[in-house]
Structure 1
Amino acid sequence: MSDWRQVIRLSDLARGPVSVTLAPDAEIRAQIARRLGLESLPELTGRLTVRPWLDGAEISGRFKARVEQICGVTLDPFESEIAGEIAVQVVPAGSPHAPADSPGEIELDLEAPDPPDVLEGEEIDLAAYLVEHLALEIDPFPRKPGVAFDYEPEVREESPFAVLKRLKDDDAR
């Protein structure tokens, strides 16, 4: 886990929405890069707004990053730009709006909005949400632009009888 935290308390929202710009320094970006399996993270910035929502909060905003990864085909390092949006609702533990932990079958509706996250206390760690959303946008199979994976297996035409003969020869040994 990273030492980088940017915390907003639910009580801070009593005066209205709070806007925050997140821009970790080089040391923190290096920690995040190691945690996410990147070669490096030369750039990461996020602009988030936290608004009151029911008895919790709604976090929304955008982020952009420049990541360095290793190409899965050429094994060369390369950089790519990533941009994404964050839209999450959070509620305190014990909230009537928290998702119910019901055992049994889970019904999945892809069109329904995500349920709110349940906070462990009164604090919302905006840095954790930024890193989580960055991780979701990173390509797990990075490929340098313009590189194609081109593989064609050797094709040998064999008659079924040749295959049977080879099997019979293998059994004789």
Structure 2
Amino acid sequence: MTGGEWLRLGDLAAGPIRRRLELGADAREALSAQLGLEALPVLEADFEIRPWMDGCQIQGHFRGEVAQVCGVSLEVFTQSVVGDIDVRFAPMGSPHLPAEVEAGEIEVSLDTPDPPEALEGDLIDLNALLSEHLALAIDPFPRRPDAVFEWAAEAEVISPFAALSALKPPPE
């Protein structure tokens, strides 16, 4: 997604920062196309960014409306998508960045918090962070709440040779 909302680590020297993002029509249209959505009428987020070790921690909440094609009825419908964001960043070479993260290999454990993400340079694109979290929150198999799948067995196909097989004597 283009046109990022950038945050520089140096901006946190004075303390925590709050940011509100409301994506404009062009940015929502580009993101909608990127994610394979029919439309993205609304996408907004509130962030609180605070210093963490030699990097930063970004916490926030996002809300959006996504238009998708129902997998049952094939009709376009709109549904709400909400989610929380809680990510830590540490610059490359930081002692707080596990060696696995710098090597690009991360072992995931459900019992421990996620390790910080490696940050090359001192800029963080908040729009990209929001886009990633939205992509993870979208239902990959959308189904309109009132959609009902009705299946009926196909009628038995009668072969033109069925009458002839009835004339055949049964095997002994």
TM-score of the aligned structures, taking structure 2 as reference length? 0.83
Cα RMSD of the aligned pairs, angstroms, is 2.1
Report the counterpart of residue 7 of structure 1 in structure 2. Answer: 6
Alignment of 1:44-123 (within 5 A): 44-101=43-100, 107-123=107-123
- Partner AA of 2:77 in structure 1: F
**Per-residue CA distance 1:57-78 (angstroms, 9 max, x = gap):** 0000111000000001111000
Contact 2:100/2:106 (8 A) holds in 1: no
Question: What is the CA distance between 1:4 and its match in structure 2?
Answer: 2.3
- Partner AA of 1:100 in structure 2: A
**Per-residue CA distance 1:1-54 (angstroms, 9 max, x = gap):** x21201111110000011111011101100000001100000000010110001
- Partner AA of 1:111 in structure 2: D
SS in 1 for 2:40: strand
CA distance in 2, matches of 1:150, 1:114: 43
Structure with bigger gyration radius: 2
Contact 2:20/2:45 (8 A) holds in 1: yes
CA distance in 1, matches of 2:80, 2:32: 14
Report the counterpart of residue 18 of structure 2 in structure 1. Answer: 19
CA distance in 2, matches of 1:89, 1:153: 53
SS in 2 for 1:3: coil
Report the counterpart of residue 163 of structure 1 in structure 2. Answer: none
Report the counterpart of residue 132 of structure 1 in structure 2. Answer: 132
Summarize the Cα distance change of 1:109–1:77 in structure 2 as closer, same or farther, 3 Å threshold: same
**Which blocks of at least 5 consecutive residues in structure 2 are unaligned?**
157-172
- Partner AA of 2:110 in structure 1: L
Question: What is the CA distance between 1:129 and its match in structure 2?
Answer: 0.7
Report the counterpart of residue 38 of structure 1 in structure 2. Answer: 37
